[in-house]
Amino acid sequence: MSKRDLYELLNQMTLPEKVAQLTQLATPFFKGSSKQGEITGPMAAMQITDEDIPNIGSVLGASGAEEIRSIQKQHLAESRLGIPLLFMSDVVHGFKTIFPIPLAIGCSWNPALAEESARVAAKESAVSGIHVTFAPMVDLVRDPRWGRVMETTGEDPYLNGVFAKAQVRGFQGDHLKESKEHVAACVKHFAAYGAAEGGRDYNTVNMSDRQLQEMYLPAYKAALDEDCKMVMSSFNIVDGIPATANQTLMNGLLRGDWDFDGVMISDWGAVKELIPHGVAADKKDAARKALSAGTDIEMMTDCYASHLEELVAEGVIDEQTIDQSVLRILQLKEELGLFENPYRGADPVQEEQIIMSAPHREAAKQLAIESSVLLKNDQTLPLQKSQKVALIGPFADNGDILGQWSWQGSKEDAITLRQGLVNKLQEEPLLAVGSDISEINATSLEQALTVAQQADVLIVALGEHSTMSGEAGSLTNIQLPQAQLDLLQSLAELDKPIVSILFNGRPLDLHGVIEHSHAIIEAWFPGTEGGNALADLLYGDENFSGKLTMSFPNSVGQIPVYYNHYNTGRPKGAPDAQVRYVSQYLDSPNGPLFPFGFGLSYTTFAYQEPVLSTDQLTSDRTLNLTVKVKNTGNWTGTETVQLYLRDLVGEVVRPVKELKDFKQVKLLPGEEQEIHFTLTEEQLRYYHSDMSYSSDPGDFEVLVGPNSQETVNTFFTLI
């Protein structure tokens, strides 16, 4: 359909039909649905009549080719103008084949593999009838108390942007209209949802415009620069105004400065939540404010459906404002080819063949391998097949390893750690649960100790239930539950080698684990192939390459702790620093337990001093940096060489370092390679006191290394 055709269709629509296009409801409201569907928020009582349903514009949470074809068919039969429904769902890190959670995917530092995971997710969801996925979630995070850190790729704006682009590419492909294997992406949650005070979900966000621009906005912009089709507003306020009704953020920045003219959808109920936020007196006021700010679709509440016609009749809302939103939605349906084929990729026969295929599971396994992070290893790993292994803990044989946003994923399909070991060893390991997630008793402990005494090495599988993170999963205590710490401590008294494997959705305070473990693997929620991936890593058939993208604090009292912090006027450890009167805690280090970019390997790598092509950079000439990296161990390994920059004197304070680039290199034992980076003036730009974005002449430090703390440095000058 041409733009002209869309205008003609719009002109045929009545005002009630236009208003109904702006509402999204979950599947139970629709004829032909199985009444299941994904309910991921509070179900409000809504004044939506059966007469409204044939004109509703989009459906939330449907899946299954049969069901979606049935809903679409019934809808088209009753829709006066035959405008097809859009089907949107949360396919965040896999559809049926579940990949590791995004916080794990970030630790792979492998955007190509992240793109592949999104492509697989798109292929499985498209054949199941889905048109739009509510992903990528790119909210920058610094507070592991917030349960949704599991959904994002971490604390760095540049890296989050790299992964945002990769996921959009994977979901959307290059020819969305023609492709039956891709879906439209919806970047979320715009904006700065991850900065909720106290890490408490849905809580207030309060920050300077500079912080917002410098840290929290870049990844959304990166997704839109990759032609992401939709944006979802966040529940929180931005500078005192809820994002969903924030003119400055939406019409000003998103649709103005960023020139985004795609569809903006509210997060669940966020339009009606303008009332408890205290910026709307009632649903009518909420409808006026949200639509005027540029929120096109109201998800799961009925402010638009109940009041937009009235607001137009009163002359408060101009019908052209509604037309603008409707046209964006019709345009998206056009870009998905729905007017030509309302059933798009929904194919029950193909569905059987595509979903959970061997190549898809292989991709999930590879990403689980590259997302796992080796935090500690005193040479206990890799294991030898001759060693007798006891597998103990609540995650020893537990399919709850998919994460809270795995929706269509099935725990029954997940390869547990035990199954992974059996697949590898062709025999059952000694096994005892020892404790539940948060309960332990004398009997279960005794059984675990009895089993442990028969083994040469203990694999202790610990972690969080998947509902302890994710949406509405905030915690004030980020240590493992005491029952699990007690189990580990009791096992440690047997004085046998202990490999602790963590299945969790957030950085944890690992006190109580690190003291008793000879090796620690951060497995996150590794997805459908988790057990097989971990078995390969445990026995050295695969080597670790994962590196943290979110700092692990020493304690919750330290939060927020992140690598790209400012130096302050009294930095601890400065050459002339006082002992007491510096920025420090009396009872804790300032830095994290494990820093951003950290991850061990079975081998070791040595870095030479970096060499610059020149020590002067200009705006029209790049500067090349070369650093030699050598594999100094006995294992082939992949190293992620990270490059950080520091602006030594800014017009405003500047972070002590900022990730600007990274390269992965695979090295054989003893092999050395030169890694090359190109530095540009663009990488030195920042927001000045007047919020202009530019670079300043001056001195800069380059820091290169395996993580954000261990680096080799050199200097150059921008002239």
| Residue 704: half-sphere exposure toward Cβ, Cα within 13 Å | 29
CB of 483 to ligand GLC, least distance (A): 30
Q: Are 424 and 382 spatial neighbours (Cβ–Cβ below 8 Å)?
A: no
The reply to whether 505 sits near ligand GLC by the rule CB under 6 A is no
Q: In whole angstroms, what is the distance from residue 538 CA to residue 542 CA?
A: 8
* Interface map 134-153 toward ligand GLC (x if CB under 6 A): x-------------------
The reply to whether 40 sits near ligand GLC by the rule CB under 6 A is yes
Give whichever of 41 and 497 is closer to ligand GLC, judged by the CB atom. Answer: 41
CB of 407 to ligand GLC, least distance (A): 9
Non-local CB neighbours of 493 within 8 Å, separated by 6+ positions: none
SS3 299: strand
Candidate list 226, 267, 334, 509; residue touching ligand GLC; CB under 6 A: 267
For residue 311, what is the enclosing H or E element?
Answer: helix 303-313
Question: Residues in the chain, how many?
Answer: 719
CB of 1 to ligand GLC, least distance (A): 28
The reply to whether 268 sits near ligand GLC by the rule CB under 6 A is yes
Site residues for ligand GLC, 396-435, by CB under 6 A, read none
Q: In whole angstroms, what is the distance from residue 51 CA to residue 286 CA?
A: 23
* Interface map 458-497 toward ligand GLC (x if CB under 6 A): -------------x--------------------------
Give whichever of 297 and 317 is closer to ligand GLC, judged by the CB atom. Answer: 297
CB of 66 to ligand GLC, least distance (A): 22
The reply to whether 188 sits near ligand GLC by the rule CB under 6 A is yes
CB of 41 to ligand GLC, least distance (A): 4
Give whichever of 40 and 543 is closer to ligand GLC, judged by the CB atom. Answer: 40
Residue that the structure tokens 């796992």 belong to: 372
Give whichever of 138 and 550 is closer to ligand GLC, judged by the CB atom. Answer: 138
CB of 293 to ligand GLC, least distance (A): 18
Q: In whole angstroms, what is the distance from residue 599 CA to residue 641 CA?
A: 12
Site residues for ligand GLC, 355-374, by CB under 6 A, read none
Q: Are 182 and 122 spatial neighbours (Cβ–Cβ below 8 Å)?
A: yes
Tell me if residue 267 is catalytic: yes
Q: How many residues interact with ligand GLC (rule CB under 6 A)?
A: 8
Concatenated DSSP letters for 646-672? EESS-SS---S-EEEEEEEEEE-TT-E
Give whichever of 231 and 369 is closer to ligand GLC, judged by the CB atom. Answer: 231
Candidate list 17, 52, 67, 90; residue touching ligand GLC; CB under 6 A: 90
| Residue 136: half-sphere exposure toward Cβ, Cα within 13 Å | 39
Q: In whole angstroms, what is the distance from residue 326 CA to residue 308 CA?
A: 13
Burial 426-441 (b: 16+ CB within 10 A, else e): eeebbbbbbbbbeebe
Angle formed at CA 531 by CA 527 and CA 533, multiple of 5 degrees: 85
Residue of 267, 285, 296, 509 with catalytic role: 267
Q: In whole angstroms, what is the distance from residue 592 CA to residue 507 CA?
A: 11
CB of 430 to ligand GLC, least distance (A): 41
* Interface map 521-540 toward ligand GLC (x if CB under 6 A): --------------------
* Interface map 50-89 toward ligand GLC (x if CB under 6 A): ----------------------------------------
CB of 402 to ligand GLC, least distance (A): 16
CB of 505 to ligand GLC, least distance (A): 15
Non-local CB neighbours of 372 within 8 Å, separated by 6+ positions: 104, 107, 521, 522, 523, 524, 526, 533, 534, 537, 544, 546
Site residues for ligand GLC, 661-700, by CB under 6 A, read none
End-to-end CA distance of the chain: 53
Give whichever of 60 and 159 is closer to ligand GLC, judged by the CB atom. Answer: 60
The reply to whether 201 sits near ligand GLC by the rule CB under 6 A is no
Candidate list 37, 41, 173, 705; residue touching ligand GLC; CB under 6 A: 41
Give whichever of 231 and 449 is closer to ligand GLC, judged by the CB atom. Answer: 231
Give whichever of 296 and 471 is closer to ligand GLC, judged by the CB atom. Answer: 471
- The torsion defined by the Cα of 5, 9, 11 and 12, in degrees rounded to 10, comes to 140
Give whichever of 293 and 297 is closer to ligand GLC, judged by the CB atom. Answer: 297
Non-local CB neighbours of 6 within 8 Å, separated by 6+ positions: 327, 330, 331, 334
Burial 163-172 (b: 16+ CB within 10 A, else e): bbbbbbbbbb
**Catalytic positions, written as ranges:** 267
* Contact set with ligand GLC (CB under 6 A): 40-41, 90, 134, 188, 267-268, 471
